[in-house]
Amino acid sequence: MFKKILIANRGEIALRVIQTCKDMGIKTVAVFSEADKNARHRFEADQSVCIGPADPGLSYLNMDLIIKTAKKIRAQAIHPGYGFLSENHKFAEKCRDAGLVFIGPSPKVIQEMGDKLTARQIMIDAKVPVIPGLSGKEYTLTDMKKKAEEMGYPVLIKASAGGGGKGIRIVNAEEEMKEAMEAASREAINAFGDGRVYLEKFFTRARHIEFQILADQEGNTIHLLERECSIQRRHQKIIEETPSTAVDSVLRKKMGNTACAAAKAAGYTNAGTVEFLLDNHGSYYFLEMNTRLQVEHPITELVTGIDLVRQQILVAAGNPLTLSQEDVSARGHAIECRIYAEDPENNFFPSPGTITCYEEPSGPGIRNDSGVYAGCAVPVEYDPILSKLSVHAETRDQAIAKMIKALKSYIVLGVRAPMDFLGDVLDSRSFRKGEVFTDFIDTHFSLWTPLMPSKDLACLAFIADEINTRPVPAMERPGASNLNSPFHTLGNWRL
Amino acid sequence: MEYQLKIKEKTYTVDLELDAEDQAYAMINDTSYELGVYRVSDHQIQMTVNGDQVNAWVEKQADGKTIIIEGQRYFIQDLAAQEMGNSSRGRESSQPQEPTTVTPPMPAIVIQVPVVVGDIVLKGDIVAIVSAMKMETSLKAPFDGKIAEIRVGEGDKVMPGDILVDIEKQPHTFIEEQRN
């Protein structure tokens, strides 16, 4: 087993990986940019190394520097998390060439699945159903327009190298095609360094269902059931749950088998995710395969009791899977909400800044994978995710109630965070009935404004804050004990 | 003591009778409240309102306070304090002028400025593309006009309020002439 792992990422996911490494007795190395010198992930690791300026291109995406750092600090493996270099086959290759284990699938698989056009072809060859669209390698604006005309608008322009909602544009009419192609292409060049785009039919009323895959180096491939990820804004998931209300045991078995077949066709090893679009007639289509740990992996962990990061590390170290498909069963219902620094009242614009007050929810069945704290900065350079709040309960109704309660007790000040919005989505009749589709937010919540049911109380709070300005002595604060730590002896202080 | 508090577009008049620093009676639109105040931290106050405990979280901002109660956010402004502020600091916020500049909606990085000084733009034309946290946003010309000045370059870090591009407003006839 590895003695030391470098985590080539930041924020909540770097912390998530560090947690399991600690459970397994593996030493951890964090890397951080100058913008992240006060980020939590670097404090929690056994060692941490600054790898350059805030610009991700010079730090978190700097392959050679990260590999050099790993070698210098004598790490044996690199965990890429999600985003950044996690789906960069060149990085996986460079790791291998440097004698480091890249915790993920082989460079070839990453390359083939990362190139959405190649992945499509592999799935077509393996008889996995794919979304109608423009396959093949040569495509011009005219080709795109012709095919879109043939299939009917709206269509999707997707970056071949894209992912995580980046490099996707909906095209409703021919005249929007040019700008959509350029915008998707430019976004993809900035995010992934590859601007090729392709065309897919856009399903206005479909579900996004994905299956978690685990595969070892001996070719054993199992799935860890589905995740329903239909609630999205800007093509980025914000609420995920498992099991899906649209998947019964027959469909689950069928889709699970297809997912395993897709992973096998790809030659997949380690943890990965096969994403499907499920239409309202029960037909499903391969969307893409994510060759990394998924943001929403906690809900699978909650219902199956399997630590996916541990499985990733075990497989990467060459261990065969000890789990068989029959060993995998789910109990109860899990929901995850992504907590981004963003403003739901203003088109979900990112809201970077400094967190001035931060209180996390806790309690039975509540898990919060967070990377921030009161006083820390949310830099403009990176993805605005603050944390992933997950709950686990016996039934879906109980999980919804638990999540609504958790969101209410999750306090973030200094940056805007969308707990109020997420709470309203969960509390809506359509969500409670399980009628979730990828157009859910646009259909039901495009004109959302906060309800603000207790304006009188808010006015009272405003005044209460004015009239009681007495500073709180440190010793009188809840939870304060008689310790001689600076936290207690310094009196009032601010970060 | 009377407070004039504004939430969104609505004003709430609060009549307050202060008993002590932590005890008060308040009247808001014919509803009376017995208020107890216990400060837990700089940001947290536990109120007792007619006997029920209510946790409130408060953040002071330059132009008001954000309050969180039961997961709901309220942005509240004190009208009296605002008027005092306005008389000394000018009246920018109360008398909005038609924008003549292009400024980002959030802290961002400039990706592209597809115009040059002297260009004629129509309302809605893209004059700058910025990116925040990997999301791109196009900033559009707020009216027809001529690019007077470009104050940023690609890769610059910019904040809301920063002026990226100056557009000199031009009458429609002038634009027509220039375009023809």
Is the confidence at residue B87, as pLDDT, over 60?
no
Among A187, A453, A456, whose Cβ lies nearest the Cβ of B31? A456
Contact A411/B68, CB-based, under 8 Å? yes
- Say yes or no: A174 and A298 in one domain: no
Residue A73 lies in a domain: yes
- Say yes or no: B41 and B110 in one domain: no
Residue A227 lies in a domain: yes
Residue B142 lies in a domain: yes
- Say yes or no: A414 and A485 in one domain: no
In the DSSP assignment, the letter for residue A148 is: H
Q: Give the CATH number for residue B147.
A: 2.40.50.100
Is the confidence at residue A191, as pLDDT, over 50?
yes
Q: What percentage of chain A has pLDDT greater than the value 70?
A: 94
How do residues B31-70 score in pLDDT, each as one tens digit?
A: 999 999 999 999 999 999 999 999 999 999 989 999 999 9
The token pair at A152 is: 């009917």
State the burial class of residue A426 (Cβ atoms within 10 Å of its Cβ: 0-12, 13-18, 19+): buried
Contact A472/B137, CB-based, under 8 Å? no
Q: What percentage of chain A has pLDDT greater than the value 90?
A: 79
Residue A345: closest CA among chain B residues belongs to which residue?
B73
* Last residue within a domain, chosen from B29, B63, B89: B89
- CB contacts under 8 A, B 22-41 vs A, are 22, 24, 26, 28, 31, 33, 35, 37-41
- Say which residue the tokens 């029920």 belong to: B52
- Say yes or no: A290 and A433 in one domain: yes
Residues of A within 8 A of B30 (CB-CB) are: none
- Say yes or no: B150 and B72 in one domain: no
SS3 A252: helix
Q: Give the pLDDT confidence score for residue A213 in this predicted structure.
A: 98
What gap in Å lies between CA A382 and CA A35, rounded to an integer? 10
Report residue A482's pLDDT band, with 50, 70 and 90 as the boundaries.
very low
Among B28, B70, B131, whose Cβ lies nearest the Cβ of A459? B28
Cβ count near A452 (within 10 Å) = 16
Continuous segment of H or E residues that includes residue A357 = strand A357-359
Q: Give the CATH number for residue B39.
A: 3.30.700.30
Contact B72/A451, CB-based, under 8 Å? yes
- A26/A135: higher pLDDT: A26
Report residue B161's pLDDT band, with 50, 70 and 90 as the boundaries.
confident
Q: Give the CATH number for residue A70.
A: 3.40.50.20
- Say yes or no: A271 and A140 in one domain: no
SS3 A280: coil
Residue A117 lies in a domain: no
Q: Give the pLDDT confidence score for residue A483 in this predicted structure.
A: 47
- A487/A174: higher pLDDT: A174
Residue B73 lies in a domain: yes
Q: Give the pLDDT confidence score for residue A164 in this predicted structure.
A: 63
- Say yes or no: A293 and A411 in one domain: yes
- In the chain, the amino acid numbered B45 is I
Contact B56/A410, CB-based, under 8 Å? no
How do residues A14-29 score in pLDDT, each as one tens digit?
A: 999 999 999 999 999 9
Among B26, B39, B109, whose Cβ lies nearest the Cβ of A468? B39
DSSP alpha helix (H) spans, A216-360: 249-266, 297-304, 308-316
The token pair at A85 is: 């270099």
- Say yes or no: A155 and A297 in one domain: no
The token pair at A128 is: 């996995």
Report residue A163's pLDDT band, with 50, 70 and 90 as the boundaries.
low
- Split into its structural domains, chain B has a count of 2
Residues of B within 8 A of A407 (CB-CB) are: 71
- Say which residue the tokens 């795109």 belong to: A144
- Say yes or no: B43 and B115 in one domain: no
Residues of B within 8 A of A457 (CB-CB) are: 47, 49, 54, 56, 69
- Say yes or no: B34 and B68 in one domain: yes
* Last residue within a domain, chosen from B36, B55, B89: B89
- Say yes or no: A212 and A311 in one domain: yes
How do residues A216-267 score in pLDDT, each as one tens digit?
A: 999 999 999 999 999 999 888 999 999 999 999 999 999 999 999 999 999 9
Residue B94 lies in a domain: no
What gap in Å lies between CA A132 and CA B104, rounded to an integer? 38
**Average pLDDT for A161-184:** 86
Q: Which of A56-65, A131-140, A240-249 has the lowest mean pLDDT?
A: A131-140
Pairing of the two strands B101-102 and B165-169: antiparallel
- B85/A263: higher pLDDT: A263
- Say yes or no: A41 and A153 in one domain: no
- Split into its structural domains, chain A has a count of 4
Report residue B86's pLDDT band, with 50, 70 and 90 as the boundaries.
low
- Say yes or no: B16 and B80 in one domain: yes
- Say yes or no: B112 and B49 in one domain: no
Q: Give the CATH number for residue A197.
A: 3.30.1490.20
Residue A124 lies in a domain: no
For chain A, what is the mean pLDDT?
Answer: 92
Q: Distance, in angstroms, between B85 CA and closest chain A CA?
A: 17
Contact B68/A352, CB-based, under 8 Å? no
Could you tell me which residues come within 8 angstroms of residue A78 by beta carbon, excluding any fewer than 6 positions away?
A5, A6, A7, A8, A66, A67, A70, A95, A100, A101, A102, A103
Among B43, B72, B107, whose Cβ lies nearest the Cβ of A420? B72
> Which residue among A169, A227, A292, A416 is the active-site one?
A292
Q: What is the ipTM of this complex?
A: 0.85
Contact A454/B106, CB-based, under 8 Å? no
Length of chain A, in residues: 495
DSSP alpha helix (H) spans, chain B: 79-89, 172-179
Residues of A within 8 A of B25 (CB-CB) are: none
* Last residue within a domain, chosen from B42, B62, B89: B89
What gap in Å lies between CA A390 and CA A383, rounded to an integer? 19
Structural domain including B137 reads 101-179
Q: Give the pLDDT confidence score for residue B83 in this predicted structure.
A: 72
Among B14, B111, B132, whose Cβ lies nearest the Cβ of A380? B132
- The verdict on pTM exceeding 0.90 is no
- Say yes or no: A329 and A359 in one domain: yes
What gap in Å lies between CA B100 and CA B123, rounded to an integer? 11
Mutate to test the interface with A, among B11, B135, B158 (most CBs of A within 10 A): B135
Q: Give the pLDDT confidence score for residue B176 in this predicted structure.
A: 66
Tell me, yes or no, if A292 is annotated catalytic. Answer: yes
Contact A468/B108, CB-based, under 8 Å? no
The token pair at A90 is: 């060149």
What gap in Å lies between CA B122 and CA B143, rounded to an integer? 6
Residues of B within 8 A of A356 (CB-CB) are: 43, 59
Q: Give the pLDDT confidence score for residue A477 in this predicted structure.
A: 54
**Average pLDDT for A442-468:** 94
Among B41, B56, B132, whose Cβ lies nearest the Cβ of A464? B56
Residue B67 lies in a domain: yes
- Say yes or no: B113 and B168 in one domain: yes
Residue B163 lies in a domain: yes
Contact A452/B106, CB-based, under 8 Å? no
- Say yes or no: A71 and A193 in one domain: no
Whole-number Cα distances in Å, A276 to A204, A265, A338, B57: 15, 16, 21, 42
- Say yes or no: B23 and B59 in one domain: yes
- Say yes or no: A224 and A342 in one domain: yes
Residue B95 lies in a domain: no
Residue B151 lies in a domain: yes
How do residues B110-137 score in pLDDT, each as one tens digit?
A: 888 889 898 888 888 889 888 877 677 8
**Sign of CA pseudo-dihedral A192, A198, A202, A203:** negative
Structural domain including A56 reads 4-103
Residue B70: closest CA among chain A residues belongs to which residue?
A408
Q: Give the pLDDT confidence score for residue A485 in this predicted structure.
A: 52
Q: Distance, in angstroms, between B117 CA and closest chain A CA?
A: 23
Single out the residue of A221, A227, A224, A209 nearest to residue A283, CA to CA: A209
Q: Give the pLDDT confidence score for residue B178 in this predicted structure.
A: 64
Residue B19: closest CA among chain A residues belongs to which residue?
A467
How do residues A66-114 score in pLDDT, each as one tens digit?
A: 999 999 999 999 999 999 999 999 999 999 999 999 999 999 999 999 8
- Say yes or no: B14 and B85 in one domain: yes
Report residue A39's pLDDT band, with 50, 70 and 90 as the boundaries.
very high
Contact B54/A457, CB-based, under 8 Å? yes
- Say yes or no: A75 and A144 in one domain: no
B79 touches chain A (CB under 8 A): no
Burial code (b: 16+ CB inside 10 Å, e: under 16) for A469-479 equals eeebeeeeeee
- Say yes or no: B63 and B107 in one domain: no
Residue B96 lies in a domain: no
